[in-house]
């Protein structure tokens, strides 16, 4: 979104759609600020490939993950079960 960084976009999502899961798919996960990671329901590296991204999105949709505001960061990786 033009004029907004990841933190600003995440804050808009949290305010407008608090139950909307957020997936961060980045080539450089280590460069993502910790404050932005708190908004994420899943953190994926682009090297995992699009199949993993689609799989994680399907799991988030199918499990009906609801967002918890900065209670616990959930990190999902390929083959790992979804645990809140």
* Tens-digit pLDDT string for the chain (84 aa): 678 877 788 778 778 887 788 888 888 888 888 877 887 888 888 898 889 999 998 888 888 665 443 333 444 445 554 443
Residue 44 pairs with which residues in a beta bridge?
25
- Domain range enclosing 58: 1-84
In angstroms, rounded to a whole number, what is the distance separating the alpha carbons of residues 58 and 4?
A: 27
pTM reported for the whole predicted model: 0.62
Q: List Cβ neighbours of 68 (8 Å cut-off, separation of 6 or more).
A: 84
Count of domains forming the chain:
1
């Amino acid at each position: 979104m033009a004029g907004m960084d990841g933190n600003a976009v995440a804050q808009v999502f949290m305010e407008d759609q608090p139950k909307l899961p957020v997936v961060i798919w980045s080539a450089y996960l280590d460069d993502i600020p910790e404050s932005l990671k708190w908004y994420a329901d899943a953190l994926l590296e682009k090297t995992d490939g699009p199949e993993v991204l689609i799989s994680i999105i399907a799991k988030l949709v199918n499990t009906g993950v609801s967002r918890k505001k900065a209670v616990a960061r959930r990190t999902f990786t390929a083959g790992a079960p979804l645990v809140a």
